[in-house]
């Protein structure tokens, strides 16, 4: 009886040990582990560097044009007179006061005359013409030697060959001897055009005004 009891107790202890063993240690369910083989580094794919592209930036240039009006103040010398676009001018010889246009675009002064006739005197070329201060005024006959001839072209007209003579022009209190080219013309708005050969170093022109100098004052000569 004691032997039978000992065997029963031994089997019972063995059964408890089987039930208390972890499942991972169970001989029926445990599988042999597969060995891990070492990897050769030379067989690995190369590592590629990925560079992210910078975002495209569009620059839009906007050009704004601005027009500025530049005002330039030109100093006027005290020894220069101011002329308007139209002035009264006395011409010599003749002693006539004519309505003149101050023409800064003309290199020389120009005078409209009547009955212009060239002739020769003492082997030199002269010109005879009549000059009038108005339709009702009596013309004055003038004879002057010809210095040279010039060709003048105007829009809509043929080139003209004009004689050039020396004449004295007086504007205000200023008198200059200048070259004047002569043109025969019956109808004219301004019988005299005062060019740059009179204006240079003598006057400045204010085109917004007329008759600034008033009546010409001829120089007085002491005897």
**Per-position pLDDT tens, the chain of length 223:** 555 566 556 655 555 444 445 544 444 444 555 554 555 555 566 666 666 666 665 555 555 555 555 554 445 556 788 999 999 999 999 999 999 999 998 999 999 999 999 999 999 999 999 998 877 778 999 999 999 999 887 666 677 899 999 999 999 989 999 999 999 876 668 999 999 999 988 899 999 999 999 999 887 754 4
Examine residue 136 and state whether it is found in any structural domain, yes or no. Answer: yes
Q: Residue 23: its pLDDT value, please?
A: 47
Q: Residue 219: its pLDDT value, please?
A: 79
Examine residue 41 and state whether it is found in any structural domain, yes or no. Answer: no
Q: Residue 222: its pLDDT value, please?
A: 46
Examine residue 114 and state whether it is found in any structural domain, yes or no. Answer: yes
CATH code for position 202? 2.40.70.10
d(CA 110, CA 154): 13
Q: Where are the beta strands (DSSP E) in the chain?
A: 81-84, 86-92, 96-102, 109-121, 124-131, 140-145, 148-152, 160-171, 174-184, 192-194, 203-206
Examine residue 77 and state whether it is found in any structural domain, yes or no. Answer: no
What domain range is 92 assigned to?
87-206
DSSP per-residue string spanning 161-175: EEEEEEEEEEETTEE
Examine residue 104 and state whether it is found in any structural domain, yes or no. Answer: yes
Domain count, the chain: 1
Examine residue 97 and state whether it is found in any structural domain, yes or no. Answer: yes
Examine residue 17 and state whether it is found in any structural domain, yes or no. Answer: no
């Amino acid at each position: 009886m004691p032997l039978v009891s000992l065997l029963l107790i031994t089997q019972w202890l063995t059964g408890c040990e089987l039930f208390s063993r972890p499942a991972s240690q169970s001989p029926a369910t445990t599988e042999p582990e597969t060995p891990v083989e070492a990897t050769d580094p030379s067989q690995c794919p190369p590592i590629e560097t990925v560079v992210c592209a910078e975002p495209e930036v569009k620059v839009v240039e906007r050009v704004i044009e601005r027009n500025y009006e530049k005002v330039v103040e030109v100093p006027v010398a005290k020894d220069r007179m101011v002329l308007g676009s139209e002035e009264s001018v006395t011409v010599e010889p003749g002693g006539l006061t004519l309505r003149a246009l101050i023409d800064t675009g003309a290199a020389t002064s120009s005078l409209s005359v009547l009955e212009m006739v060239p002739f020769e005197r003492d082997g030199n070329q002269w010109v005879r013409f009549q000059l009038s201060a108005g339709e009702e005024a009596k013309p004055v006959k003038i004879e002057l030697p010809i210095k040279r001839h010039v060709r003048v072209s105007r829009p809509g007209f043929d080139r003209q060959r004009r004689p050039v003579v020396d004449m004295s022009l007086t504007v205000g209190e200023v008198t200059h001897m200048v070259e004047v080219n002569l043109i025969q013309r019956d109808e004219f708005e301004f019988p005299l055009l005062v060019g740059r050969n009179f204006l240079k170093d003598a006057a400045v022109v204010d085109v917004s005004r007329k008759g600034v100098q008033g009546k010409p004052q001829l120089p007085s000569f002491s005897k």
